[in-house]
Amino acid sequence: MDSWDDEKMAIIAYIMLLTSVGKEHEIAEAVANYDNVTEAKVVYGSWDVVVRASLDELSQLDVLVTSIRKLEGVEQTTTLVSS
């Protein structure tokens, strides 16, 4: 048996958010309190907020991204997934 079979690998996701003007700090603060979110930072460049999440299953990522997209002021998201 491979040692990978014994370990549960965490899924790490980075979710980039484009927000309405002036909403980036409010959204980052709100998202920082969500389950599985390890960081939410306001950044400069093409995106306004970057969120890092650590999850056990992709279904948790679906719930997280859907809830973030429902926030007033979130205009666009892109998600990068690593395992």
Give 40-65 pLDDT, tens digit per residue. Answer: 999 999 999 999 999 999 999 999 99
Residue at 3 is within a domain: no
- Single-letter amino acid code for the residue at 43: V
The answer to whether residue 45 sits within a structural domain is yes
**Residue 1 counted as domain residue:** no
Point out which residues pair with 52 in neighbouring strands. 14, 39
Range of the domain at 28: 8-82
In a domain, 2, yes or no: no
Compute φ and ψ for 11, nearest 5 degrees.
Answer: -95, 125
Residue 83: per-residue pLDDT = 66
pLDDT for position 38: 97
CATH number for the domain including 21? 3.30.70.920
- pLDDT at residue 16 above 90? yes
Task: Say yes or no to pLDDT of 30 above 90.
Answer: yes
Q: 23-51 b/e with 16+ CB inside 10 Å = b?
A: bbebbbebbeeeebbeebebeeeebbbbb
Q: What is the pLDDT of residue 8?
A: 61
Alpha carbons 65 and 43: distance in angstroms, whole number: 19
pLDDT attached to residue 53: 98
The domain total for the chain is: 1
pLDDT at 3 over 80: no
